[in-house]
Structure 1
Amino acid sequence: MKIVGIDLSGPSNHKDTAVAVFSDQGDSLYLDRLLNPASDQDILSLITNLSAEQQVVVGIDAPLSYEDGGGDRELEKELRSFTKELGMKSGSIMPPTLTKMIYLTVRGMKLASLLSDLMNIQVIEVHPGATLAARIPGEEGRKHALLYKRSLESRDWIANWMISFGLKGIQVNLLQTSHLIDSCAAAIAAWDYVSPNRKPAWSYDANSPYHPYPFSC
């Protein structure tokens, strides 16, 4: 099985879209490929080829649905409470229809729909920041989990933690942007959701037809 983590940006921002492809080895993930930048066509071509031979689980860091009438989904309300306990700012969990989020939501929903039409694909919505904050122990670790988007030192620390967590094939010098870190964290969230021997730190069930994808962090 392949586990794919996608840190998605808005439709015109391919340079900040990062994809990490891992092979599930049971007790670890082995990094096969990093893709950055990435367009929708790049992502579809990559995952189409992967799914021709095996099951592919895709964790996408973007809202994959929205609440009719706007504002928070029930997901955001409950996730915000969970992340506050981890020391994260409430503003890190934003409604899908917020002005600064809407283009990302549109891209996420389109990509998830296209991927779901393929065979052997499972799509999961994820939140890399919450994934890291919920797993990295200790005061120092929590500091790096909250600062990695702004600090190269924290990104290096988290890359080393990922190696100890079970991500093989990673080289610290390759994960120099927060987008690449987030793509790997997205893969962790998806892996923990689907693996029979693992479990997510926090999850939310799909509720079709309006919210058709489960959430994991």
Structure 2
Amino acid sequence: MKLNALEGYLQEVRVFDNPKVHYEQYPTSAHLAARIVYTAANSYDDIEDKLVADLGCGCGMLGIAAFLMGAGHVTGLDIDADALGIAQANISKFEVPMDLVRSDITHPNPVDQDATASLIANEALLRRLSKTVDTVVMNPPFGTKPGNKGIDMAFLRAALTLATTAVYSLHKSSTRDYIRAKAKSWGATGQVLAELRFDVPQMYKFHKKKSVDIQVDLWRFQQDSC
């Protein structure tokens, strides 16, 4: 699938109805999602026929993109039941055979077993994921809100634990040196593939502008043992 066609499909993906600031929920745009997954698929062959996990999947944008680019199977994990409900609607619309797990990936045990029945949430699946995921794609929280400090690195560490091949992730460009050093301390090598603009729309009461562009890096991480 060509890049423009992929972005066109992703424009139809529904995003957050009522985003939650404490989870730092900002939707990954169709434009960014298309470029992340297209790069992983065409430059590194890390998507087609691969087992892909989308950590902090939100409404499923990156996971759906991975499926459209030929992923063998996709699993999305998120802590928020409301976001997963929207993701379920999206994967039904696109007819994507994607598993959804309600879990705090920084503490890998499913939460609140009363989640929507159609969502898979069980420890057995998470244990299986740790042995079978080839590629992780994610847009983790930046960790800028009170109580969230370090959450971006917690996501990265979890992703490196799961992925047997590579991790693709967005991080603020201002943290580049820190992220590279942190990955190295965990036995991984990180490469910045692109410098991108993350358009944050006016979503919360404290937002004063209609939109703000944040400079972000698209990273590819790989364990040194791979």
Does TM-score exceed 0.5, indicating one fold?
Answer: no
Instruction: State the TM-score, normalized to the length of structure 2.
Output: 0.29
Would you tell me which structure has more strand in proportion to its own residues? Answer: 2
Q: Name which structure has the greater RCO, CA cutoff 8 Å, separation 6+.
A: 1
TM-score (norm 1): 0.30
